[in-house]
């Protein structure tokens, strides 16, 4: 729990969506770890230690977290109980209610946009984490930055993007959530065993 507390302010201060201009092609990048939305949807912690390690890895501070009460499991479940029903509606093709849209809007909150002068040292460090092949740059740059109010706001922003892209699905074998990258006919999550297990189970049923 201490590691989460120590990192809380750093997470809130240091997470950007970066638009790099100048000699580079325009691109939006988030310095949060990728795959946070589906990882959060699929996460089912058994211990507080496991929950703490997950929150540290994915840089998530659940809004309901109270360090004095040591309620990290409850805080994660509380946020999951808000987001999962909406995700399931999206996947099933059911219409989202206005109240649910308001929840998404409220959770994303105000995104502060500004121009920030960033040194080459910090920008190179961020870019190398995102893409190790990124060219090293020198000097300082003015970049367009967007800052969320808290560390779960980007999860809800990812959800908003998924609503418009229709790229969220559940695995037909294990039920895990996953996002489509290219193949919209995909039926299985990233676990390679799911496809094999599903076909073997189906074959056994046909042979009975």
* pLDDT tens-place string over residues 60-116: 989 999 988 999 999 999 999 999 999 999 898 888 899 999 999 999 886 666 666
Q: Is the sign of the CA dihedral 146, 105, 86, 4 positive or negative?
A: positive
Q: Please, what is the average pLDDT of the chain?
A: 76
Q: What angle do CA 13, 143, 141 make, to 5 degrees?
A: 110
What local confidence, expressed as pLDDT, does residue 176 receive? 93
pLDDT at 49 over 80: yes
Residue 63 has which token pair? 């809004």
Q: What percent of the chain has pLDDT over 70?
A: 66
Q: How many CB atoms lie within 10 A of CB 85?
A: 13
Look at 71-80, 144-153, 156-165 and tell me which has the smallest mean pLDDT. 144-153
Look at 23-32, 40-49, 176-185 and tell me which has the smallest mean pLDDT. 23-32
DSSP 8-state code for residue 182:
S
Contacts 24+ apart (CB under 8 A), 61-64: 61/4, 61/8, 61/11, 61/12, 61/150, 61/151, 61/152, 62/152, 63/150, 63/152
Q: Give the mean pLDDT of 20-45.
A: 69
pLDDT at 201 over 60: yes
pLDDT at 145 over 50: yes
What local confidence, expressed as pLDDT, does residue 45 receive? 92
pLDDT at 202 over 90: no
Q: Where are the domains of the chain?
A: 2-166, 171-208
* Local confidence band at 22 (pLDDT 50, 70, 90 cut-offs): very low
* β-bridge partners, 170: 177
What local confidence, expressed as pLDDT, does residue 87 receive? 93
**Alpha-carbon Rg for the chain in angstroms:** 20
Q: Give the mean pLDDT of 4-19.
A: 43
């Amino acid at each position: 729990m201490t590691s989460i507390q120590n990192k809380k302010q750093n997470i809130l201060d240091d997470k950007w969506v970066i638009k790099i201009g100048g000699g580079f092609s325009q691109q939006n990048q988030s310095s949060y770890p990728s795959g946070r939305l589906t990882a959060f949807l699929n996460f089912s912690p058994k211990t507080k230690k496991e929950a703490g390690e997950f929150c540290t890895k994915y840089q998530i501070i659940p809004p309901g977290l109270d360090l004095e009460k040591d309620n990290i499991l409850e805080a994660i479940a509380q946020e999951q109980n808000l987001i999962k029903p909406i995700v399931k509606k999206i996947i099933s093709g059911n219409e989202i209610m206005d109240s649910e849209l308001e929840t998404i809007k409220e959770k994303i909150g105000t995104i502060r946009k500004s121009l920030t002068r960033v040194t080459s040292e910090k920008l190179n460090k961020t870019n190398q984490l995102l893409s190790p092949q990124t060219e090293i740059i020198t000097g300082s740059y003015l970049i367009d930055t967007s800052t969320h109010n808290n560390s779960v706001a980007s999860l809800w922003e990812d959800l908003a993007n998924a609503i418009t892209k229709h790229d969220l699905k559940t695995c037909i074998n294990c039920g895990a959530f996953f996002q489509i990258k290219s193949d919209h006919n995909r039926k299985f999550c990233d676990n390679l065993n799911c496809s094999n297990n599903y076909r073997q189970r189906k074959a056994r049923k046909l042979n009975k």
